[in-house]
Chain A
Amino acid sequence: MSKVKKVLIVEDEIAMLNALVSKFEKAGFDVLSAQDGKEGVRIAKKESPDLLILDIIMPKMDGISVVKEIRSDNNWGSDVPIIMLSNLSDPESVSSVAKYNVYDFLVKTDWRIDDIINLAKEKLNI
């Protein structure tokens, strides 16, 4: 029996967070969520999710700082798959996470949630 995968979604815009949580739950994931970066890091360190989906512009701690924090955790954080989900698309943002081995940078307006879920499944090999 394959374990249910845990995904942490960190997004400050409520309407978007609700949409993501609802769809990921329907897709069979165990979904954790946070509305700011700081809370996101706290939950991540406590729950060690299998996948993280992060926005960039967020209060308290932005997505890039969250990535930095997570990656600095040598036990689990350095390898966990991370998908950035943002409405920014500038090269500086992309390269600022690339240096932490985060190469999936999705622009929200370009992706339907079903397709994001498919990508998530791909990254988790399910």
Chain B
Amino acid sequence: MRISDKILLIVFVLATVLVLVVALLIGGSLQQVLLLGQAVYIFVFITSFMISRKLSQRIISLSFNVEEMAAGNFSKKIEIDSRDEIGQLASALNDLLSRLRTNVAIDVSKDTELAKAKTDFVTLASHQLRTPLSIIKWYVDFLVTGEAGEINKEQKKYLEEVYLSNERLIELVNALLDVSRIDVGTFSIEPEPTDIVERAENALRKYLPQIKQKEIHLKKAYDDIPKINLDPRLTKMVFDIVISNAVKYTNKGGMIKITIKKTENNILTQVSDSGCGIPREQQPKVFSKLFRADNVRRMESVGTGLGLYIAKAVIEKSGGKIWFESPSLEFLLSEEYKGKKITPDKANKGTTIFFTIPLKGMKKKLGTKKLSSL
């Protein structure tokens, strides 16, 4: 029973007793006693209801403040509205708060200093690593495409090996940048009203040259989706990872379809491809760190095995779910497959990766680190 209800009950009982006592002492008819009783009850009820509600409210508001503290938010000081017992409690809580803040600040600043040093190191290292990698990329590209003169088949083959290896290094640097900051759980989520379709299109842009070059048929099916609270960087990152996989593992002349739809409680995204798929026996390990299926290891493609691990961490921390199916039903049911315009790659018949993000958006998450890649 609430404190305020207890108080009301006691007051009722006292009021009744009081009225009866007064009636006995003063005397008077039953009617007068009843009238007096009613008046007293009404007056007493209203007053004590107001007082006890106010008390309850103050206590509830205090407990909200404590809940916030418990969730790690030490920044808000509790307002002290009076000198009574509740005010004293509030004041004591404020003392506790500043004590906690100081202690936590010491820990967090040591933590944040360390994290910042690590982050700065990782940013610097990745920038320094990327410089020679981009020089190699461009110059080998020149050689392969005949910029510096015609080359023979063998030369082209060797140079393509170099180019591919270099691309692997580039992807590794990108992935390390993310994984070093993701440390599953310590990255921050900063939601703001975001257009999810715009994020998908933004992430897709990087892959358009490759899609064109591989003559991949790109299909899009976007619902009309309102802006929801998402962390724009994280959202783009997830699209980047999933689209990158689709492009990488889809053969020349294949198909990729991106669907974004609104369901009752979520936004559901599907990225389907007609590519080499994921063999059944390998499927349970798909989201683990450093996993690359045997069938793609044998393919000539670069991949770090970290992408889906990162995507899963981001989606799940955002309150969503991520899963996949291979073979891809979306592809198998498509016009292109039925019309035999696109032949699936080998036996596995494509992959669809699904992920959901709740319509109510990503929850803000304080963290000491920020995921850095675009």
Question: Residues on A close to B: CB < 8 A?
Answer: 13, 15-16, 19, 23, 26, 57, 87-91, 94, 105, 107-115, 118
Closest to B209 in A: A115
Choose one: A89, A105, A113; the contact of B138 (CB below 8 Å).
A113
B222 contacts the other chain (Cβ, under 8 Å)?
no
Q: How far is the CA of A118 from the CA of B138 in the complex (A)?
A: 15
Chain B residues whose CB sits within 8 angstroms of the CB of A94 once the complex forms: 374
Chain B residues whose CB sits within 8 angstroms of the CB of A19 once the complex forms: 135, 138-139, 142
Q: Tell me the residues in window 125-182 of chain B with beta carbons closer than 8 Å to chain A beta carbons.
A: 126-127, 130-131, 133-135, 137-139, 141-142, 145, 147, 170, 173-174, 177
Question: Residues on B close to A: CB < 8 A?
Answer: 123, 126-127, 130-131, 133-135, 137-139, 141-142, 145, 147, 170, 173-174, 177, 206, 209, 233, 370, 372-374
Q: Are A109 and B137 in contact (CB under 8 A)?
A: yes
Q: A105 with B131: in contact, given A90-B123, A112-B137 (CB under 8 Å)?
A: no
Q: Are B372 and A90 in contact (CB under 8 A)?
A: yes
- Contacts A/B (CB < 8 Å), 24 sampled: A13-B131, A13-B135, A15-B135, A19-B142, A87-B126, A89-B126, A89-B177, A89-B372, A90-B370, A90-B372, A91-B370, A91-B374, A105-B374, A107-B130, A108-B130, A108-B134, A108-B137, A109-B137, A110-B170, A110-B206, A112-B137, A112-B138, A112-B209, A114-B209
> In whole Å, how far is A15's beta carbon from the nearest beta carbon of chain B?
5
Q: How far is the CA of A16 from the CA of B133 in the complex (A)?
A: 11
Closest to B141 in A: A112
Closest to A20 in B: B138
Q: Are A107 and B374 in contact (CB under 8 A)?
A: yes
Q: Are A89 and B134 in contact (CB under 8 A)?
A: no
> In whole Å, how far is A31's beta carbon from the nearest beta carbon of chain B?
16
6 A-B pairs closest in CB distance: A87-B130, A108-B134, A109-B170, A90-B372, A115-B209, A109-B134
Q: Are B173 and A109 in contact (CB under 8 A)?
A: yes
Chain B residues whose CB sits within 8 angstroms of the CB of A87 once the complex forms: 126-127, 130-131, 134
Q: Are A113 and B131 in contact (CB under 8 A)?
A: no
Choose one: A57, A90, A105, A113; the contact of B141 (CB below 8 Å).
A113
A87-B134, A109-B173 are known; give 17 further A-B pairs, CB within 8 A: A13-B131, A15-B139, A19-B135, A87-B126, A89-B126, A89-B174, A89-B372, A89-B374, A90-B123, A90-B372, A91-B370, A91-B372, A105-B374, A108-B137, A110-B170, A112-B141, A113-B141
Q: How far is the CA of A26 from the CA of B145 in the complex (A)?
A: 14
Q: Are A109 and B130 in contact (CB under 8 A)?
A: yes
Closest to B202 in A: A103
Chain B residues whose CB sits within 8 angstroms of the CB of A91 once the complex forms: 233, 370, 372, 374
Q: How far is the CA of A111 from the CA of B133 in the complex (A)?
A: 12
Chain A residues whose CB sits within 8 angstroms of the CB of B130 once the complex forms: 87, 107-109
Chain B residues whose CB sits within 8 angstroms of the CB of A23 once the complex forms: 147
Choose one: B127, B139, B206, B209; the contact of A88 (CB below 8 Å).
B127
